[in-house]
Structure 1
Amino acid sequence: MSRAQEPKQILSFLGASPYDEAEYELDGKTYLTPYTQEALARHYKDHTVLVAMTEEARSKHADGLRARGVNYTPIPIPSGSVEEELWAIFEAITEHVPEGAEVVVDISHSFRSQPVLALAALRFLEAAKDVKVSRILYASYDQRAKRGRFLDLTLFLTLMRWSEATSELVRYGFTRNLATLLKEIQDDAWRGGKQGPKPQRLKTLGQVLEELGLALEFLRVPETLELARKLLEESKRVEEESQAWLPAQPIRALLEKLRQRYEPLAVEEAFSPDGLKAQAHMVDLLLEIGSYHQAAVLIRELMVTKVCLDQGLHPLDKDGRDKAEGYLNQWLKEGHDETLRQWGNTWKALSDLRNDLAHAGMRRQARKGPGAERELQEKWAQIRNLLDL
């Protein structure tokens, strides 16, 4: 089922307070009604309406809302005065919203903890039922003027997604969700028809971030360093444009996190002294996020690269790298000075560990996971000191 064919719903809360007739404004249109539910039903004519209400709210407003021509499905909820009732509200909301629905949420008449519960339920529905929350609305009401204006609070749900995606990046190195969010924010801003400045560079930043994550995952060293430079350049452009685009302001903290993480990789030449330090930082990142196999591969290749550079061999030439590996194997033998033998012994131990990881434990004496992790961390500390990085 395509997104266009999926159910479209308005999810609203109805309280027990008396509601006066007022003019409610949304997207340049005005609706005269006591109920925000009616205003939204008239605005979103292709949406069905769900209304969460306590028994008290039902007895006071259920008939009045139907009398206004609003055909809705009630969601009975408790008042939420104890913890068990809070969970009952959460379950009632999540059970009534179907898989893949597109939802406009109205929290104008929610009370007590209901707005917080609604936000938590929406995030759960996005993850568990592939629900698309198109808008979260709150009607700011001026009692004297008998006028209300719907405020769009959708960005605050987006902030929750930012937090989760940023956590995925920092803890596990996953860039795709954050990259996708950046692209969606720009697309949504241009689709919404709002006036004023709009983001121009978020999609580009998201694309570079996604490519950088893949380059790091597949150990494309020169490409990773190049994309890190591009990321820093794009982050500066996004920060400049966010000065004028208010909803983008929370992204500045994210941009600082990206700079801290990837600035050590943003060097011009992969095989310069700074380039070798950048590769060492790549190893640190891989170990930090638990990508131990990739870290072992890169440590091994970093040793070969260093020997290539020391011996006047081109580090991207296959014959040159084969010769460098030959040197490392020769340095295991007698007749070489202590430093070269240290290189040879370290190389042998690292190659054995890397091969163990590469063969998925299909050996009689395969290392256990915790032991392999500890040994890799120890070997990297030794090799980093040996390479003077």
Structure 2
Amino acid sequence: MILVTLLGIETRDTDYALEGRTHRAPLAPLAIVALRGGFSEVVALCTPEAREASFPVLRGALPLDLGARCEEVPFAASDREIAPFLDRLTSVLDTAGGEFALDITHGPRHLQLLAFAAAVYLSALGRIRVRAAYYGLLRDRGPSPILELRPLLELVALAFAAGELRRTGSTAALLELLRETPSQESKALASQLEALAAACASGLPLEAGAEAARFGRGYKGRLARRLRRSRVPLADHLVEAVDAELARFALPRVHPLGRGWKAKLPLDREELVREGGLVDALLLRGAYGPAAIAAEEWVVSWALQADGGAARWLDRDARDRTARRLDALAAHALDPELRDGLTEDQVRLGRFWGDLKELRNSFAHAGMRREVIDPWRSKGKLGGILERVRDDWDWVKELPDVPLDVTGTVGRLLVTPVGRLPGAFHTALAHAATVDRCLCICSPDTAGLVAEVLERTSHRPRPDVIGLLLPDPYRDLEAARGLARQARAHLARAEEVVLNLTGGTTLMGLAVEWMGDEARRLGRRVRRLVVLDRRPREEQERQPYVLGEAVWLEGGGT
């Protein structure tokens, strides 16, 4: 280890005391070498005057096997000279490399402060490791104690770590400090903080809460003892500051060490606020991928809690159903033709949900797409999404009262193909009971049958009819797919959509299925039926308006 010392122009024989032992020497570094030992070299930082006055004394009094080197530094007599002094000093310390001890007993007082600041700076960068720092408190009577300043360096580093924890929720700096001390207690503390850091960085609010609670209940005292043993000033104050920050993430009521602790965890406003703190920390840290995932799951939990589903908040099926309701709300909110039926808050929530999913998906495959993933830039699509997500997150984390469901203005909508044999349409309409509107997929040859079927079917009141024409019902797949987009507004207005899967051509049947998919995306209840007519085809052609059987694939017909 190298001893780096700052020299002035004066020397005086003094009895220096360190750890209960004394040594008389004209310079403090000579006493430190004698009382502490273990140094491979002494590097003296000298102004030109100190180089002539005191460095020869140092070099002449050192043991013959211990080399001494003088590094000249400027006096830094003005503000402009401070930067050159620090540049020179950091260059010397950087060149020394590895581990060293610093002595700032001698030299001008302002250079002592600057030398200590440089040591703090380089230590924080991880470029050097300051194993000890000394200051000899010169007294006219009695021994002059050599004070250990190493705890002050650790105090500065710990203050930075506590500040980073407060600002971003990250324990990385604190974890790095604990790893520098190779004791079993430090290893145990580091292991616990590493678990907490991993849970937070991964965007796991429940596991992060458990690890933060473990720290508060089992490791807070260990950290305090570790700092006291290192004689770090304000140790208890620092530990309380760290604990207060971690308490924001900690589960408050359920002991996380017990088996099945997740099943016992209640979902209430307090829990939502706690989990929201992790989303805040991830956004502040720029961890946008985990933040989007955590925020998305938070919104699902919030919706479940607001809708009376808190008892099932960790059931996958319940969460998936709620996510689909949010998907439907977003589908309405993001479509100018559909959002008129929503409140302002519903539009904002639906847009937020859509933005969250887009942000999450942009990170889901580590950027392996043609689009550049750069939401941190103010311009561009993702930048705009991130800006809206930040704004809307600040709104939604206050737990506003926003209904998820979009009420339809039309009751039951029957979606049916109309083939050349009208019996399937006739039977479906009869068995569907109350139908408020029919969406009929027709070819040019079958469009005229719709009015006839309505006349022959004893269905009162008579439903409204919307005709969708498929010019080529045998070959035009894209046209069949496009009918679902045409029908979107009608599907969105229905409370329930009934799909008749019988009749017409294969393409007509596919169009019906695609409309069902679209209706589900819009949050509509969808049921399907098939029609059976066991008579020969010739008889069906002669008497098409004979009621057949209806088989419901989901539920009954009332």
Q: Same fold (TM over 0.5)?
A: yes
In structure 2, what is the Cα distance between the partners aligned to 1:357 and 1:51?
53
Q: 1:27 to 1:252 in 2, by over 3 A?
A: closer
In structure 2, what is the Cα distance between the partners aligned to 1:372 and 1:205?
39
CA contact (8 A) 2:6 2:104 kept: yes
Q: Does 1:321 align with 2:316?
A: no
CA contact (8 A) 1:350 1:379 kept: no
In structure 1, what is the Cα distance between the partners aligned to 2:11 and 2:398?
74
CA contact (8 A) 1:313 1:320 kept: no
Partner of 1:219: 203
Partner of 1:5: none
Residues 323-342 of structure 1 aligned to structure 2 (within 5 Å): 323-330=321-328
CA contact (8 A) 2:155 2:233 kept: no
Partner of 2:7: 14
Larger mean Cα displacement after TM superposition, 209-218 or 25-34: 25-34
Letter in 2 for 1:150: I
Letter in 2 for 1:210: E
Q: 1:312 to 1:150 in 2, by over 3 A?
A: closer
In structure 2, what is the Cα distance between the partners aligned to 1:128 and 1:319?
49
Partner of 2:390: 377
Residues 1-389 of structure 1 aligned to structure 2 (within 5 Å): 8-20=1-13, 22-42=14-34, 43-70=36-63, 71-97=67-93, 98=95, 100-127=97-124, 130-145=127-142, 147-182=143-178, 184=180, 204-234=188-218, 237=221, 247-267=231-251, 268=254, 270-273=265-268, 274-307=270-303, 310-311=308-309, 314-330=312-328, 347-356=353-362, 358=364, 360=367, 362-363=370-371, 367-368=380-381, 370-384=383-397
In structure 2, what is the Cα distance between the partners aligned to 1:364 and 1:58?
58
CA contact (8 A) 2:122 2:128 kept: yes
In structure 2, what is the Cα distance between the partners aligned to 1:364 and 1:157?
42
Deviation at 1:176, TM superposition (A): 1.5
Report the RMSD for the aligned CA atoms in angstroms. 3.7
In structure 2, what is the Cα distance between the partners aligned to 1:83 and 1:357?
47
Deviation at 1:252, TM superposition (A): 3.6
Match of 1:109, SS?
coil
CA contact (8 A) 2:154 2:232 kept: no
Q: Give unpaired runs (5+ residues) of structure 1.
A: 1-7, 191-199
Match of 1:372, SS?
helix
Higher relative contact order (CA 8 A, sep 6+): 1
Letter in 2 for 1:75: E
In structure 1, what is the Cα distance between the partners aligned to 2:55 and 2:221?
52
Structure with the bigger percentage of helix: 1
Partner of 2:478: none
Match of 2:54, SS?
helix
CA contact (8 A) 1:41 1:47 kept: no
Deviation at 1:353, TM superposition (A): 4.3
Letter in 2 for 1:304: V
In structure 1, what is the Cα distance between the partners aligned to 2:78 and 2:310?
74
Deviation at 1:17, TM superposition (A): 1.9
TM-score (norm 1): 0.78
CA contact (8 A) 1:205 1:234 kept: no
CA contact (8 A) 1:270 1:276 kept: no
In structure 2, what is the Cα distance between the partners aligned to 1:368 and 1:119?
48
CA contact (8 A) 1:304 1:325 kept: yes
CA contact (8 A) 1:182 1:206 kept: yes
Deviation at 1:345, TM superposition (A): 6.2
CA contact (8 A) 2:302 2:399 kept: no
Q: Give unpaired runs (5+ residues) of structure 2.
A: 255-263, 333-337, 403-558
Q: 1:63 to 1:304 in 2, by over 3 A?
A: closer
Q: 1:24 to 1:388 in 2, by over 3 A?
A: farther
Q: 1:344 to 1:255 in 2, by over 3 A?
A: same
In structure 1, what is the Cα distance between the partners aligned to 2:399 and 2:126?
52
Q: 1:378 to 1:87 in 2, by over 3 A?
A: closer
Match of 1:110, SS?
coil
In structure 2, what is the Cα distance between the partners aligned to 1:76 and 1:386?
63
Deviation at 1:346, TM superposition (A): 5.3
Deviation at 1:157, TM superposition (A): 1.5
Match of 1:118, SS?
helix
Deviation at 1:73, TM superposition (A): 0.6
Q: 1:387 to 1:209 in 2, by over 3 A?
A: farther
Deviation at 1:341, TM superposition (A): 6.9
Deviation at 1:164, TM superposition (A): 2.5
Deviation at 1:13, TM superposition (A): 1.6
CA contact (8 A) 1:201 1:234 kept: no
Q: Which deviations, in whole Å up to 9, do the C-alpha atoms of 1:185-236 show, x marking residues without a partner?
A: 6x5xx7xxxxxxxxx9766555433322221110122211112222333575
In structure 1, what is the Cα distance between the partners aligned to 2:125 and 2:229?
32
Match of 2:203, SS?
coil
Counting matched residue pairs gives 366
Q: 1:111 to 1:234 in 2, by over 3 A?
A: farther
In structure 2, what is the Cα distance between the partners aligned to 1:375 and 1:57?
61
Q: 1:379 to 1:225 in 2, by over 3 A?
A: same
Letter in 1 for 2:360: R
In structure 1, what is the Cα distance between the partners aligned to 2:323 and 2:91?
61
Identical positions, percent: 25
